[in-house]
Amino acid sequence: MFYLTEVEDYIRVEPKLFGLPTIESVEQQLKETYTDYYDKEIGKVVMIIEVKEVGEGVIIPGDGATYYRSRFKLLVWRPELQELAYGIVSEITNFGAFIDLGSTKGMIHISQTMDDYVSFNKSNSLIGKASKRTLKQGDLCLARIVAISHKGGELKIGLTMRQPGLGKLDWIKEDAAKKTKAEKKAASDEEKAAKGKGGKKKK
């Protein structure tokens, strides 16, 4: 899920930014510091929204930089178990696929890509034995987060698409169209059956 988070911290501004107005130098330093930044508690930083307050600078002897106590707002993405996430297949392997979720990547095991027996083929895609559905690089998908790990300080996300309403977006559309068609047929059959009963003459 995406959150707006307010943080208060001392920001180390490097000497190369001393020529800028203080608030600009702090903002520039924040952008450099928080690029690709991830923290288990805060989440993955997407962007710096606003620098709300900058205090007096403090110089530590032998450092050369200036430290400013600052208050700023971040847009972060914090993954949650059972959360639904849209993504693009960025890589196919013989054991599954990696999906780019925008802020980070998630991994989906081959057995969790679809409700079918799935194999890796020579065209660098995954294919279902019965359904003949294929998953390849660049496909848009909807998946569910089923595992979150922080081992080694790295964020690792496990995904599944083996549930109703999940999978490649084309599959979801196909399933919805089949369901609508089946519902219409069932309603039509019920209507015909009702008319048939109503049309019988009493002796």
29-81 pLDDT, tens digit each: 999 988 888 888 888 899 999 999 999 989 888 888 999 999 999 999 999 99
* Mean pLDDT (whole number) for 15-36: 90
Q: Residue 37 falls within a domain, yes or no? A: yes
- Percentage with pLDDT > 90 across the chain: 67
pLDDT at 201 over 70: no
Residues 67 and 105 in one domain: no
Q: Residue 182 falls within a domain, yes or no? A: no
* Mean pLDDT (whole number) for 83-97: 95
Residues 94 and 134 in one domain: yes
Q: Given pLDDT bands bounded at 50, 70 and 90, which one contains residue 200?
A: low
Domain extent at residue 14:
2-77
The number of distinct structural domains making up the chain is 2
Query: What's the pLDDT at 202?
Result: 52
Q: Residue 166 falls within a domain, yes or no? A: yes
* The domain boundary residue, chosen from 77, 100, 129: 77
Q: How are beta strands 156-160 and 105-109 bridged, if at all?
A: parallel
Q: Residue 150 falls within a domain, yes or no? A: yes
Q: Residue 111 falls within a domain, yes or no? A: yes
Residues 6 or more apart whose Cβ sits within 8 Å of residue 170 = 139
Q: Any bridge partners for residue 127, and if so which?
A: 119, 134
Q: Return the closest-CA partner of residue 83 out of 188, 166, 154, 189.
A: 166
Taken in order 75, 77, 78, 82, the sign of the CA dihedral is positive
CATH code for position 166? 2.40.50.140
* Position 134, amino acid: T
Residues 72 and 116 in one domain: no
111-122 pLDDT, tens digit each: 999 999 999 998
pTM of the model: 0.77
Query: What's the pLDDT at 191?
Result: 84
CATH code for position 6? 3.30.1490.120
